[in-house]
Amino acid sequence: MTRTPTEIKAARMAPLARLPAFFALEGKRAVVAGDTQAAVWKAELLSAAGALVDVFTPAADEDMQALAAAPPHGRIIVHDRHWTAADIKGSAIAVADCADDAEAAAFAAAARAVGVLVNVIDRPAFCDFAFGAIVNRSPLVIGISTDGAAPVFGQAIRSKIEALIPNGFGRWAEAARKWRPRVQALALSFRGRRGFWEKFTARAVAAPGREPSDADLNALLTPGASADAGSVVLVGAGPGDPELLTLRAVRALQSADVILFDDLVAPDILDFARREARKMLVGKTGHKVSCRQDDINALMISLAKAGRRVVRLKGGDPMIFGRADEELAACRAAGIAVEVVPGITTAQGAASRLLVSLTRRGQARRVQYITGHGHDGQLPSDIDWHSVADPAVTTVVYMPIRTLPALVANALANGLDPTTPAVAVERATRPEERIVAAMVKDLPAQLAAAVPTGPVIVMIGRVFADQVAAGSDAPMSDGGTDQALSPLADRTKPFRAAR
């Protein structure tokens, strides 16, 4: 049997609660009736869109008067009286904040009688359209609607989008508006026009904070020019909790073509990346099978030279025991543009969950970070042991599991008080986090008994006295709800299932 080629039609649009549309109001008349804060806000929105706003209210408050005196764009005139049907005629849009349904019905009927679209604030039965939450990067404007079901939820979504859309996108959208006639004058084919705007978009996403210039336009119009010569960004993924990512880290992930990530990066972090981005594990795990640093550098450089936007994603902060200096040097030697997006360190994340200040007044004059893992996998030979023994310092030890017994023995031999409080935190800030608190002399044995299988950080200092004295974990926040964790003995059992 044979089958002839058959075109598969795209699925039909699913039902819409509202049709999203954007009104062109520049120079057009708009009517607002009411003297509430909601009416003031609607008058401001309409003016910002360029409308010539007539406000009808017998007792305009100070906010409305101040707005009329300094409108954001289109002029605002306040008329000291109630609205009439004749006031609405000739306007493009009419908005009212009515005291009751009777007034709302009258206003809506008057507007519809003369063919004017109407909105009665908080009374959807009398509305031809609804105002949504707005993300303003004009001329890039994003509207969000919940069809009046949950305005607060709409505002929360707006906040999320605000965090992800750089302010600089407004400048690039304005450049697109300015350059569009020049691009159209070239009489490019459909494919050529689409290719130009794809390159334009890639350039804007890669450099949202930069002012676009004619040099960008010329580069985009050059035949065969690529939108991006390739770049590398070292990004700190934080200690594990995805909500501890910085906004800049999220933006880097969403603009990446390729992401090279370590074993220490929590899998949920990768959910912030574009679906189309390649995600490549280049893990380096002590004493286990690992990617060689030289191979990672070579891969990173080759991808960037091929025009890819490469994100090198590292747990914690890339500048804290993340071998960032070697990767930065490799990029510079290859002439690859490189930058660093810092992350919340594992120490900061662990301390926040313990609710412990690492520099608590009267107990710690400074914080120091050391590594328990040298180039040869052994305890580094150049640790300043007298500094570790200082009772007024909080010492944070990265990669400590294998060498912790030797590290503690050396510190005790150089004067560290054996009763100094210490904590070991495994998988800090993640759902399966585990904590062991003990006097430093006992910590190696207790940590070994816990049989850790994930990344561990050890912190030593007087600031952890409460954790050791209590014999249990400090309170921590989990999804916004404070709760006391189980006793220490329970925390050395196998992990809870990850959520």
**Residues involved in catalysis:** 262, 284
Quote the CA–CA distance of 203 and 52 in Å, as a whole number.
Answer: 37
Q: What letter does residue 72 receive in the DSSP assignment?
A: S
Q: Which two tokens stand for residue 55?
A: 């406000």
Q: What are phi and psi of 236, to 5 degrees?
A: -85, 120
Amino acid identity of 214? D
* Structure-token match 């959807």, residue found: 124
Residue 337 to residue 233: CA distance in whole angstroms: 8
What DSSP assignment string belongs to 85-98?
A: HHHHTT-SEEEE--
Q: Which residue has the tokens 């009416």?
A: 39
- Which of 63, 10, 14, 19 has its CA nearest to residue 38? 63
Rounded CA separation 404/461 (Å) = 15
* Dihedral over alpha carbons 436, 346, 406, 387 (to 10 degrees): -110
- The span from the CA of 346 to the CA of 14, in Å, is 45
The CA-CA-CA angle for residues 302, 308, 309, to 5°, reads 115
Burial (CB < 10 A; 0-12, 13-18, 19+), residue 381, is exposed
Cα–Cα dist 433/453, whole Å: 11
Closest Cα to residue 205, out of 245, 180, 168? 168
Concatenate the DSSP letters of all residues of 346-373 into one string. Answer: HHHHHHHHHT--TT-TTT-SEEEEEES-
